[in-house]
Amino acid sequence: MQKILGIFEQISRIPRCSGQEGKISAFLTEWAQTRGFAVRADAVGNLLISVPASPGQQQAPVVVLQCHMDMVCEKTPDSSHDFAVDPLQLIYEGDWLTAANTTLGADNGAGLATALALAEDPELVHPQLEILCTVDEESGLTGASSLAAGFFTGRILINLDSEDEGVFTIGCAGGRHIELILPLHHEPAPASDPVYELRVHGLQGGHSGINIHEQRGNANALLARLLTRLRAAMPLRLAAIEGGSAHNAIPRDAAASLVVLPADEVLLAALVAELAAGLRAEYRHEPHLAVSVQKKAEHAGWVLSRETTARVCDLLMAVPDGVMAMSKEVAGLVDTSMNFATIREQDGALSLLFSLRSVRPAGIEWLAGRIAALAALAGAGVRQGNGYPGWQPDMQSELLARARQVYQGLFRSEPVIQIIHAGLGQKTERQENDKNDQQERQQRSQLPPAAEPPGQKLIQRLGQGGKDPGQQDRHQKIADHVQENCGNEENQQQQGRSVD
């Protein structure tokens, strides 16, 4: 553990925000060259460090250790830290390691440190190792999505971007983003009509894949319900609307500016109070849910026409959200879901962003078809992202079998084998809401111990079995899947987790 912490401390002195990996790349290149390891970069800046096999292990299958170089750079409002030049200020508090007023960068600095520690361990008997270090993982998988076939040669890949000890992730959902774009028609607002801000806030939020089955409140969906009820009780028009923060976060907050008649102000306040009480009773598992309506001092200027207001409200109410289907094969696993992620006004149009997930390609197409049909009915257009395929679990994987054996031998317990309803390769490492938390921390005891880290034992076992032709065939299946989809890091996770 101390070896890994020592390397992590070196890494923490190097600025490495997403898209600014030049300094950490230079550090890794110098580290490799100093030890005589071959290193090369591709056009976008991904690095591959080749570590020769131990004597007698040259025929063993090559093992790829994958991690990413960048980190989320967030700080507290009162921090003067400059991520472009300042080293992180590490703080040791008992078993926990944190950083002073900034994110820690253990995602994925801990993975980098583990890979380097394994590679330079003189006692470790190992096959040839390839340390694959990708760029810009946190903000969009730029490095992973740009990987060219053949950049690495290994047929076994172990991802080191994980978070929970004793958990082996062996499968994930595929996903796609889809944006619905509705043209808006504005007109001058009546000067005498008051403007109110209706807001839904205080929800838990969470990751739109991992937490989607918990039926957490979606602020966008709840705002749509409120608008529908209010429109049924009084004439109103929308002046502005916005909600959500990111494609992979369940919205915590959403708000709309409403223009109502002066005669309806008392009714508006009373009805919102009634509806808020009903939502709090319905969402008892959301203890901080709040609905507020507040009169604004300024005049609206422009509002949506009554027809456009009706179309927007109906569309918001009609869009699906949440779990669409549960798996018939794996108990408790979400099969297909949709997150109503964000509401934005831009360039004279309303933009609604959705995150679609499914373990089956057909599930993604089904949801995309539903959004396209809604768009056609509403007179809107759609813009679809490329998405990423799911990773089908292989319970017969030789790598999984060996990893389980190693874990059982070291800890005398069974590891947790999981399939997650999220894309692997991009984090909100933990949830999107936790990932950007300045209180990111690393538990020191969860780093591999110095004597017999599981990674060492697993690498040794893979090397010892390298001459088994049957094993080579099984590893080839893994390699074929990785190389066929090497443009999507989501398919390159044989252990570990990096969540989109």
Catalytic annotation, residues: 70, 137
Q: CA-CA distance, 441 to 147, in Å (whole number)?
A: 30
H/E stretch holding 290: strand 290-295
Identify residue 7 by its one-letter amino acid code.
I
The CA-CA-CA angle for residues 121, 449, 408, to 5°, reads 105
- Of 132, 196, 167, residue with least CA distance to 413: 167
483: Cβ contacts below 8 Å, ≥ 6 apart: 149, 150
- Give the N- to C-terminal CA distance of the chain in Å, as an integer: 28
Across the strands, what pairs with 117? none
E strand or H helix at 403: helix 398-411
Please check whether residue 196 is in contact with residue 235, taking contact to mean a CB–CB distance below 8 angstroms.
Answer: no
Note whether 4 and 113 are within 8 A (CB): yes
Q: Which of 108, 179, 61 is nearest to 430 (CA)?
A: 108
Report how far residue 86's alpha carbon sits from residue 13's, in angstroms, rounded to the nearest whole number: 7
CA neighbours closer than 13 Å in the CB half-sphere of residue 73: 22
Phi first, then psi, for residue 148 (nearest 5°) are -90, 145
- Using CA of residue 80, residue 81, residue 85, residue 88, what is the dihedral sign? positive
Q: Other C-beta atoms within 10 Å of 266: how many?
A: 9
Residue 175 in 3-state DSSP?
strand
Question: Count of residues for the chain?
Answer: 500
Are 266 and 293 within 8 A, CB to CB?
no
Q: Are 320 and 301 in contact (CB under 8 A)?
A: no
Name the helix (H) or strand (E) containing 237: strand 236-243
- Considering only CA atoms, give the Rg of the chain: 26
Q: What is the largest CA-CA distance in the chain?
A: 87
Cβ of 174: how many Cβ atoms within 10 Å?
22
